[in-house]
Amino acid sequence: MADLFDRIIPNLERFPDIGIDFLARVPQSRESQAHIERLKARLGEHVRLRECIAGDYLISYAVRGGNLYLLAIKHHLQLSFDLKSHWRA
């Protein structure tokens, strides 16, 4: 985890395009396409959503102008943020 703050996040700040373009993915359904279109409309033209895999972590972030905004940092073993729906009895 220390590597995340000491090396990875500073590298993202210096090279924000190092991650992949999240919105460039091809949607697999019409519902996904609609969600992506709404997200693009809400973000506007000058915000880029990106993802980067660094060690055991998936980092989601937004780039707007010269600013980088961390949206989520998830360990690869973490299924989602909504664990209750994954582990219903």
Please, which residues have CB within 8 angstroms of residue 84's CB and are 6 or more apart in sequence? none
pLDDT in tens, the chain (89 residues): 678 888 888 999 999 999 999 988 888 899 989 998 998 899 888 999 999 998 888 999 999 988 999 999 988 777 665 656 666 65
SS (H, E, C) 8-67: HHHHHHHCHHHCEEHHHCCCCCHHHHHHHHHHHHHHCCCEEEEEEEECCEEEEEEEECCE
| pLDDT (0 to 100) of residue 80 | 61
pTM, full prediction: 0.77
| Closest to 21 measured CA to CA, from 47, 56, 57 | 47
The total number of structural domains in the chain stands at 1
- Domain range for residue 6? 2-86
Q: With contact defined as beta carbons under 8 Å apart, do 3 and 55 qualify?
A: yes
